[in-house]
Amino acid sequence: MLHKFFSKFILIAIITLLNMGVYAQEVEAEKREEKHVNYPEFNKDTLKVKLERKGDRHYRKYSFQKAIKKYSSAKKLTESGYRNLAESYRKIRKHQNSSLSYARFVKGKSTNIEDLFNYASVLRLNGAYELSHKWMDKFKELAPNDLRVLSFVNNLSGFQGLLEDQGMYKLIHLNANTEHQDFGTAYYNKQLVIASTRVDEKLSSNLYNWNGLPFLDLYVGDVKGLQVENIQHFKGDLNKRMHEGPASFNKKGDFIAFTRNNYKGKSEDGSVNLKIFFATKDAKGNWIDEESFVHNHAEHSIGHPCLSKDGKVMYYASDMPGGHGGVDIYKSVKTNNGWEKAENLGPVINTEDDEMFPFFHEENSVLFFASTGHLGLGGMDVFFSNLKPDKTFTEPKNLGMPLNSNKDDFALIIDEKMETGYFSSNREGGKGDDDIYGFELLRPFGNDKIVLKGVAKDQDGNILGIVLVTLTDKDGETLDTLTTEDNAAYQFNVERDKEFFLLGEKKGYINQPKATDTKTEESEVICDILLEKDIGLSLYALIQDNKTKKPLAGVKVILTDKLTGKVSDYLTPASGEYRKIVDDKKITDKGLYNLVLDKEGYFTKSVTLNTMFDKNGVVNLNALLDLGMDKEVKNLNDLVKINDIRFDVDKYNIRADAAIELDKIVKILQEYENMTVELGSHTDCRGSEAYNKKLSDRRAKSSATYIKNKIKFPERIYGKGYGESNLLNGCACEGKVKSHCSDEEHAANRRTTFKVISTGDDFLEIEDNNDSVKGGKQ
């Protein structure tokens, strides 16, 4: 959305044009603490009251304070009204009120997926991270392939570390900050150029524009340590009557790219978008040959330029069509024929939300940028990504506290030696709206490598030389291999904050994969590898996904000898194979074991092995036990195909054909003894509401009783009748609106659901959904 792109230009530039007469008063009102917040009753109808319609008009004009006043005065608000109210509070940075407004409607049936993401984002701005993550989980269910979801999933395990000061930075708040907006720094020879709305008393034209507010201009100051002194208007005629800044320069300082309002026209919706302009400095120090970037367009914005040292490569941000979402980061190269086509940096960098303020560090091939789409601490966070030799980018890394906060942190630049730099933030404790902070880097960016080393040993602690050591990631993909020398030592250079498996292989020995991680601030992790001598008697299993039949890495296999009480555990490597030396049994001994298979995202499985060791060799457990694993689901209909469960008209006894389907549930519950299931029965609307409720409840309890009689721990399933309370369509028979549906449409509402309530220790959050098994005539 354009308004997000303009958020660092006095909220949004189009406010300046659309609300000239009222904006100054609104800014003043936004600064006052709201003493009372009125939350209207939720209006389930789509018909809007008059005050809501007035609020909508103000909202469309970006007059958020007036919109809030109208919405809050209404007795009732529709979901659309509450959405606009929540967003209005978010625009004026009253994030607590925004989250409370979202909470009023976000659980509604017509809530869209962006509401879930926006609510989670506002909760992060309030520091409510645990609740935010829960709503991101809901967002993930509805949009599993969303780029923001992928960032959330890939980085959640390291999120807590972002909240802790890892000793990476020393921050300095610049004395030169004002009560206005100061942000967007750029290196200019030995000086620093910033964008600011500060008032220059020497230039009356910049004191008060006809809307009562100053615009952004470019300023320049002298660098003293990390402080910036003697800040003055940037020389030349680049500053005009509206917004100029931020800017970027080539190494020589004689070529500038800067952001400016489009003075020559509005877009079709009346917005004044942003453009990038260039200028060249002549021998006398004058900026001449001002020209517009070839990819500027009246219908979208382009800004936040970052020039290469030679001025022939430029990274920038734009909401142009064809991107991944809101604002994306692009790159253009200047040749003899001019600037080439804009190149989107792709889905590794860009998401469906906003990425902006790029800064590319040429010496180390590192891109820094701000994002609201990647998993952050709240608002915009600064991320970095390394440009690889194949010209692709690595997965972005959040720079963490204290450089990032739960407010907007953006526009980072850093010197050639990667020792000091600047960024901008509206965090608490600043002097104005946006302030500039200097930082000293105490440990290099991208220093995410750590030494992983150890030795290979047998079960008695003896060193084993000439061992093939394989390093895999947590999903079992091979990253590196080596063969140890006689000293049995191995060493890998690996990424920090990651999980790994180590696997040792040597003839005459059985490997024991070892799990380890590099979630430490130390420079190395020591992890020894254990191999067991093959004495001739062992257990073997291949652990697979039940549906795909692919081997599963990272399955924790817990083996308990029920005769001796001895317990051992093992993590499967990429091959999904399990091997265990049986060193306490001999031929003709009986073996009685309990095996538990546990892997995140899968149902935990428990099986019993009862066997006789009648000869040396390998006992193949797959020939004796079902060791396939099923992914966790919230509805068993997603796990196994269950056909219609039918009942005779007005009856609830279990028919033979229904028993066949219920036996499928019996099998699952026998296989997963920790699972708890709710069996729900639903009817269509025909018949009285009370009758349908009673009939469905009897059918649910009858079905549940059938299953109870065939499983251990029968309390793990219960029946619940919903009657006609959860219709899947508009086929209602009671109330003000009566439907005229076909038999087929009514049949869609007759169904049986099997909701997974618990998988053991952890309870899944269950929501009403449409996954069901349809039934026959009531």
% residues pLDDT > 70 (the chain): 87
The pLDDT value given to residue 478: 86
Q: How confident is the model at residue 294 (pLDDT cuts 50, 70, 90)?
A: very high
What's the rounded Cα separation, in Å, for the pair 10 and 214? 9
pLDDT over 60 (residue 771): no
Say whether pLDDT at 296 is over 60: yes
pLDDT of residue 39: 62
Asked if pLDDT for residue 309 goes beyond 50, the answer is yes
Cβ neighbours for 50, distance < 8 A, ≥ 6 positions apart: none
DSSP 513-557: -EEEE--SSSSEEE--EEEEE--SEEEEEE-BBTTT--B-SS-EE
- The predicted model gives 100-118 an average pLDDT of 85
Write the secondary structure of 280-324 as one string of H (helix), E (strand) and C (coil). Answer: EECCCCCEEEEEECCCCECCECEEEEEECCCCCEEEEEECCCCCC
β pairing state of 449-458 and 524-526: parallel
H helices of 127-243, in order, are 129-142, 147-155, 159-162
> Band of the pLDDT at 43, cuts 50, 70, 90?
low
Give the pLDDT score at 272. 66
Question: Whats the size of the chain, residue-wise?
Answer: 778
CB 209 within 8 A of CB 241: yes
The pLDDT value recorded for residue 3 is: 36
Q: Taking 50 as the threshold, does the pLDDT of residue 17 lie above it?
A: no
Q: Are 769 and 722 in contact (CB under 8 A)?
A: no
Question: Following CA atoms 345, 351, 354, 359 in sequence, which dihedral angle do they give, to the nearest 10 degrees?
Answer: -30
Which of residues 385 and 364 earns the better pLDDT score? 385
pLDDT of 19 > 70? The answer is no
Does residue 25 register a pLDDT over 70? Answer: no
The DSSP bridge partners found for residue 386 are 366
Q: List, for residues 692-703, the tens digit of each pLDDT value.
A: 899 899 999 999
State residue 35's pLDDT score.
40
> Confidence class of residue 47 from pLDDT cuts 50, 70 and 90?
low
696, HSE (Cβ side, Cα atoms, 13 Å): 29
Chain centroid to CA 457: 41
CB proximity list for 737: less than 8 A, separation 6 or greater: 730
**Which residues, listed in sequence order, are joined to residue 629 by a DSSP beta bridge?**
545
First to last CA, the chain: 49
Predicted confidence (pLDDT) per residue in 469-506, tens digit: 999 888 778 888 999 998 889 999 888 788 898 989 89
Amino acid at 718: Y
Residue 331 — very low, low, confident or very high, per pLDDT cuts 50/70/90?
A: very high
181 and 432 Cβ atoms separated by less than 8 Å: yes
Is it the case that residue 6 has pLDDT exceeding 60?
A: no
Q: Does 31 have pLDDT greater than 80?
A: no
Tokens standing for residue 115 = 């509401």
Cβ of 635: how many Cβ atoms within 10 Å?
18
Express as a percent the part of the chain with pLDDT over 90: 44
Q: What is the pTM of this model?
A: 0.58
Assign 38 a pLDDT band (cuts: 50, 70, 90).
Answer: low
Q: What is the pLDDT of residues 197-254, one digit of tens each?
A: 887 654 444 443 333 457 789 999 999 999 999 999 998 888 887 788 899 999 999 9
Higher pLDDT, 124 or 751: 124
- What pLDDT band is residue 769 in, cutting at 50, 70 and 90? very low
Please tell me the distance from the alpha carbon of residue 169 to that of residue 166, in angstroms, as a whole number. Answer: 8
- Give per-residue pLDDT as tens, 644-675: 787 877 788 898 988 999 999 999 898 888 88
Which of 675-691 are b and which e, b meaning 16 or more Cβ less than 10 Å from the residue's Cβ? bbbbbbbbbbbbbeeee
- Amino acid letter at 344? N
What integer is the mean pLDDT of 131-151? Answer: 93
pLDDT, residue 273, reads: 81
The string of DSSP codes covering 571-601 is E--TT-EEEEE--S--TT-EEEEEEEEE-TT
Please tell me the predicted confidence (pLDDT) of residue 192: 96
Residues 6+ apart with CB under 8 A from 55: 66, 67, 68, 69, 70, 71, 74, 81, 84, 85
How many contiguous H segments (helices) and E segments (strands) does the chain have? 14, 43
Per-residue pLDDT reduced to its tens digit, 82-93: 889 999 998 888
The answer on pLDDT for 436 being more than 50 is: yes
In the chain, the amino acid numbered 484 is T
Confidence of residue 725 (pLDDT cuts 50, 70, 90): confident
Name every residue whose Cβ is closer than 8 Å to that of residue 343 and which is 6 or more positions away in sequence: 330, 331, 332, 333
Distance CA 502, CA 574 (A): 10
How buried is residue 261: exposed, middle or buried, by Cβ count under 10 Å (0-12/13-18/19+)? buried
pLDDT single digits (tens) 147-186: 999 999 988 888 988 998 888 899 999 999 999 889 999 9
Q: How far apart are CA 145 and CA 267, in angstroms?
A: 33
Cα(71)–Cα(82) distance, integer angstroms: 8
Assigned token pair, 663: 């036996």
Q: Are 403 and 168 in contact (CB under 8 A)?
A: yes
Distance of alpha carbon 573 from alpha carbon 555, whole angstroms: 8
Q: Enumerate the β-bridge partners of residue 490.
A: 454
Average pLDDT over residues 605-615: 89
Q: Are 466 and 455 in contact (CB under 8 A)?
A: no
Over residues 507-545, the pLDDT tens digits come to 888 877 888 999 887 778 999 998 888 877 889 999 999
Q: What was the pLDDT predicted at 5? A: 40
Question: Is-contact 123 361, C-beta < 8 A?
Answer: no
The Cα diameter of the chain in Å comes to 101
Average pLDDT, the chain: 84
d(CA 637, CA 694): 24
Is the predicted pLDDT of residue 750 greater than 60, yes or no? Answer: yes
Q: How confident is the model at residue 286 (pLDDT cuts 50, 70, 90)?
A: very high
Name the residue among 326, 354, 378, 371 with its Cα closest to residue 131: 378
- Asked if residue 268 has pLDDT above 70, the reply is no
